[in-house]
Chains A and B, each alone.
Chain A
């Protein structure tokens, strides 16, 4: 099924296709499909690819031109993401700034912040890390303890952050801090932009279960940043942070879903090679894997169609993450099983092939961006209107 968005964007689509065909070559082409939200493989190549995209004007397709974007609409963003995923281009190294921080600054940042940071993001000059989670505050962001105090023209920040994706590469962090020490829960939080190149910031890599140093813990000891580096209002950091988390829309699920589709096709090929299609039990699981990716696709298309029609997306936009993350794990389990004993052998220095890496990293998908348990709470409380859990 080919997506057709009508004649209005067909020229744009052709432009994207042509550019990708001309530029996704050589080393970039060799790294097709490499990387993911928690997979920092081939970092330097991917960074170079991001710079190639930037030079071609493909970063910030929907961002205003005054900040270096293309000033196009949601439909063009979707078309770009779809074509990008279709050719399986490398996962963008700067996705954190492009998909989360950038849209947050556009929505809630000051004019000075937008002018200062957005063009740098699009030029791939500055890399960003997110400082929301803490050792004591994973899903429960309201219990953030990292504190920030005003000292003249500066904020002084102390505390510890964790699970910062690609943190070791970050030039800047956007950090949720408690600016009112007397405050409880989500009141009295502020969102600060903090440079990492200073003595008060220490970033240590954390090795993930796939053997990669893809996230980090961040230690802030009297780290400093300017008074004007608060995004939104002081004390309103909870609202700002929630808006960031709400920004992930159907567009970000598109590339993921196309990756799953490729994996499902590879799984069917593998099953055929290994003669597993005659086994009725395996056959059923293989069909179910195919069904899952097909459902993901239609669900995403529903959300995209609603967004582009100016409608509020239905409940499927909220349940999609839970579905995709759990089904992707099942797909990985099955693929690994079908690969048999050979699929259990890794390369030198715990070198993983694409299937092994995708399977192991899929274990993170039911945790990051709100664990499945948190997703079920959100669905129960915000979509179905069930009473909240009692909270102290």
Chain B
């Protein structure tokens, strides 16, 4: 049983936190939030080159470092804490995981090393106008063309970092069912990408229109859904870790302010109204931490039923915890917390958009209920 972190994992956390303190401080977060691309290729390159973060959990045979998801979860907790902008979640939690799950050894060998080295920015294009994350939500079609290849026609939207990804992994409906196809955007006729201005400016989304766009089929035709479902479960757990990190940062800010802000001649943190609110925030965070860590440990243990349950539980719990804590942080800050200048709203907006990024808490509760047989 190893439900605690090793010294190496503590060290990883320290290194990532100190890197992000420098490269994803408030000024940089705001700079990327205001930038339509929202991506800093220099920082991206250093994340890969100096720290190997993009390939951390990619097996060594595909150019990564072969660490587990507990390690990767530590990184996501830190990127969440620092509100890192850019395509890390899209590339690592969605695209790399989808590639690892698809039954296509050749594609893994061909595409994963680029992700691990930081050369490729990638994403998973799953949602459409309905916003659904289930199999029925996949409507975009792929059809055989005369050369034996595949062509995509339809719309994907709310695609994380879809506006700048070099590689799109697209879920599409083919005669046999749902299939996964790859599109390299540098050479993709019939592809129109439109950035979507979003409530949360720290994570960009795009609308992708495909008109007879050539694509490469990954794995057997029509058999991709189970792999995509597993990818979503993994991404759900990693997003949960990110949410825990964001919530922890919001609480830190609230506590720091409650110690120095005075009313009636004493710090507001000495009043039970504020103190108890902060204590409840910590309780929410620690419960969310248990949910997220439970998911990470399940991923590394590899029991599929357990992974599905732990992932749904983690998303339901961590989504609500982050939103609640981020809102409470604004409350503790009072008027100042309601301004554009103060960073509290950045966390609140990230919390709210993360809550629906991979399905709402209600959706995940229902997944859990179904898996529990109730």
Residues in A whose Cβ lies below 8 Å from that of B272? 373, 376-377, 389
Q: Report whether A295 and B287 are in contact in the complex, using a CB–CB cutoff of 8 Å.
A: yes
Q: Report whether B374 and A298 are in contact in the complex, using a CB–CB cutoff of 8 Å.
A: no
Identify which of A39-47, A153-161, A301-309, A344-352 touches chain B: A301-309
Q: Report whether B276 and A380 are in contact in the complex, using a CB–CB cutoff of 8 Å.
A: yes
Query: Taking the nearest CB of chain B, how far is it from the CB of A279, in angstroms?
Result: 12
| Secondary structure type dominating chain A contacts | helix
Q: Report whether A386 and B275 are in contact in the complex, using a CB–CB cutoff of 8 Å.
A: yes
Q: Report whether A390 and B270 are in contact in the complex, using a CB–CB cutoff of 8 Å.
A: yes
Q: Report whether A299 and B259 are in contact in the complex, using a CB–CB cutoff of 8 Å.
A: no
Instruction: State how many residues of chain A have any CB contact under 8 Å with chain B.
Output: 49
- Residue A231 is within 8 A (CB to CB) of chain B in the complex: no
Q: Report whether B316 and A379 are in contact in the complex, using a CB–CB cutoff of 8 Å.
A: no
Query: Taking the nearest CB of chain B, how far is it from the CB of A294, in angstroms?
Result: 6
Instruction: State how many residues of chain B have any CB contact under 8 Å with chain A.
Output: 39
Best-surrounded residue of A320, A375, A376 (most CB of chain B within 10 A): A376
Q: Report whether B270 and A386 are in contact in the complex, using a CB–CB cutoff of 8 Å.
A: yes
Q: A4-B1, A286-B374, A376-B272 are in contact. Are A387 and B267 (CB under 8 A)?
A: yes
Q: A301-B1, A323-B287 are in contact. Are A272 and B374 (CB under 8 A)?
A: yes
Identify which of B43-51, B164-172, B288-296 touches chain A: B288-296
Query: Taking the nearest CB of chain B, how far is it from the CB of A126, in angstroms?
Result: 37
Q: Report whether A294 and B313 are in contact in the complex, using a CB–CB cutoff of 8 Å.
A: yes
- Residue B369 is within 8 A (CB to CB) of chain A in the complex: yes
Q: Report whether A283 and B369 are in contact in the complex, using a CB–CB cutoff of 8 Å.
A: yes
Query: Taking the nearest CB of chain B, how far is it from the CB of A283, in angstroms?
Result: 6
Residues in A whose Cβ lies below 8 Å from that of B269? 380, 386-387
Query: Taking the nearest CB of chain B, how far is it from the CB of A384, in angstroms?
Result: 5
Q: Report whether B286 and A287 are in contact in the complex, using a CB–CB cutoff of 8 Å.
A: no
Query: Taking the nearest CB of chain B, how far is it from the CB of A36, in angstroms?
Result: 23
Query: Taking the nearest CB of chain A, how far is it from the CB of B293, in angstroms?
Result: 7
Name the residue on B nearest A322 (C-beta): B283
Bound Cα distance A5, B1 (Å): 6
Query: Taking the nearest CB of chain A, how far is it from the CB of B211, in angstroms?
Result: 41
Residues in A whose Cβ lies below 8 Å from that of B294? 294, 298
Give the residues from 198 to 229 in chain A that come closer than 8 angstroms, CB to CB, to chain B.
none
- Residue B258 is within 8 A (CB to CB) of chain A in the complex: yes
Bound Cα distance A272, B290 (Å): 28
Q: Report whether B293 and A380 are in contact in the complex, using a CB–CB cutoff of 8 Å.
A: no
Bound Cα distance A377, B1 (Å): 33
Bound Cα distance A332, B328 (Å): 28
Name the residue on B nearest A375 (C-beta): B279
Name the residue on B nearest A313 (C-beta): B4
Give the residues from 269 to 307 in chain B that come closer than 8 angstroms, CB to CB, to chain A.
269-272, 274-276, 278-280, 282-283, 286-287, 289-291, 293-294, 306
Give the residues from 272 to 301 in chain A that come closer than 8 angstroms, CB to CB, to chain B.
272, 277, 283-284, 286-288, 290-291, 294-295, 298-299, 301
Bound Cα distance A288, B368 (Å): 10
Query: Taking the nearest CB of chain B, how far is it from the CB of A296, in angstroms?
Result: 8
- Residue A342 is within 8 A (CB to CB) of chain B in the complex: no
Q: Report whether B286 and A386 are in contact in the complex, using a CB–CB cutoff of 8 Å.
A: no
- Residue B365 is within 8 A (CB to CB) of chain A in the complex: yes
Name the residue on A nearest B289 (C-beta): A316
- Residue B266 is within 8 A (CB to CB) of chain A in the complex: yes
Bound Cα distance A388, B274 (Å): 12
Best-surrounded residue of B272, B291, B294, B372 (most CB of chain A within 10 A): B294
Residues in B whose Cβ lies below 8 Å from that of A302? 3-4, 289-290, 293
Query: Taking the nearest CB of chain B, how far is it from the CB of A373, in angstroms?
Result: 7
Query: Taking the nearest CB of chain B, how far is it from the CB of A326, in angstroms?
Result: 9
Bound Cα distance A283, B283 (Å): 24
Residues in A whose Cβ lies below 8 Å from that of B259? 385-387
Query: Taking the nearest CB of chain A, how far is it from the CB of B249, in angstroms?
Result: 14
- Residue A336 is within 8 A (CB to CB) of chain B in the complex: no
Residues in A whose Cβ lies below 8 Å from that of B1? 3-6, 301, 305
Q: Report whether A290 and B290 are in contact in the complex, using a CB–CB cutoff of 8 Å.
A: no
List 26 A-B pairs, Cβ < 8 Å: A5-B1, A6-B1, A277-B374, A288-B365, A290-B368, A291-B313, A291-B365, A295-B291, A301-B1, A302-B290, A309-B4, A315-B282, A320-B286, A322-B279, A323-B283, A375-B279, A376-B279, A376-B280, A377-B272, A377-B275, A377-B276, A379-B283, A380-B269, A380-B275, A386-B255, A387-B269
With A319-B279, A386-B269 given, name 6 new contacts (CB 8 A).
A4-B1, A315-B282, A316-B289, A316-B290, A377-B272, A380-B276
CB-based closest 3 A-B pairs:
A380-B275, A379-B279, A305-B3
- A residues with a Cβ closer than 8 A to B are 1, 3-6, 268, 271-272, 277, 283-284, 286-288, 290-291, 294-295, 298-299, 301-302, 304-306, 309, 311, 314-316, 319-320, 322-323, 373, 375-377, 379-381, 383-390
